[in-house]
Amino acid sequence: MSIIQLNHPLISHKLAILRNKNTGTKEFREIISELSTLLCYEALKDAKIEENEIETPICKMKVQNINEENYAFIPILRAGTGMLDGLIKIMPNAKIGHIGMYRNEETLKPVKYYYKTPKNLAQREVIVLDPMLATGGSAIDAITMLKENGATKLKFLCILAAPEGLQKMQEIHPDVPIYCAAMDERLNENGYIVPGLGDAGDRIFGTK
């Protein structure tokens, strides 16, 4: 499994603001979107391009385009939707799906409640979004469902990843590359990433 961590001074700067408990909802949400855009740029380095001819104000020329409709962005609800804006700004014609899960606070296992994706997943590159790869349960279950529905080319984008989640992903879905802004130290006894940034969903939507 490929684990691609973005290393850049700007990424470090943005992460420092995200991690700060005093960062407000508006700024937190904006930075999640910005980091998601940067992750998407990295994840699309291998995007297939098609050659077309256009006419500039000066002359005709051959250009290279990405067929955006060959891509599907699938955020895991609810925190994953905070990453979506950052991706559709640069690829607005990609298809969008949603997978709804929440974590059982006693078992720490994901509970599924919603699943809706674009058709023809087998013909698309599917990019799954969730800001936090903690225990890995939600990501693993979401990717399993997508594979069962025909997806064969998948990538996973997150802001932070814990070693425990990375290890489980490697065991269950070794074929899915993971793109993250940072790999953190560990999970605590409550299943939160340390040092982390708290509950991403609560901080994106201002619910705590």
107, 144, 152, 207: which one is catalytic? 107
19, 29, 78, 103: which one is catalytic? 103
103 is a catalytic site residue: yes
pTM: 0.92
186 is a catalytic site residue: no
CA dihedral of 22, 25, 27, 31, whole degrees rounded to 10: 100
Q: 53-99, pLDDT tens digit by residue?
A: 999 999 999 999 999 999 999 999 989 999 999 999 999 999 999 99
Compute the distance between CA of residue 33 and CA of residue 25 in angstroms, rounded to an integer. 12
23, 37, 78, 202: which one is catalytic? 202
Q: 96-128, pLDDT tens digit by residue?
A: 999 998 777 777 677 789 999 999 999 999 999
Q: 151-175, pLDDT tens digit by residue?
A: 999 999 999 999 999 999 999 999 9
Task: Map out the domains of the chain with their CATH numbers.
Answer: 3-44+69-205 (3.40.50.2020)
- The three state secondary structure string of the chain is CCEEECCCHHHHHHHHHHHCCCCCHHHHHHHHHHHHHHHHHHHCCCCCCEEEEEECCCCEEEEEECCHHHEEEEEEECCCHHHHHHHHCCCCCCEECEEEEEECCCCCCEEEEEEECCCCHHHCEEEEECCEECCCHHHHHHHHHHHHCCCCEEEEEEEEECHHHHHHHHHHCCCCCEEEEEECCEECCCCCEECCCCCHHHHHHCCC
Mean pLDDT in residue range 1-24: 93
pLDDT of residue 105: 74
23, 29, 37, 199: which one is catalytic? 199
Whether the Cβ atoms of residue 91 and residue 40 lie closer than 8 Å to each other: yes
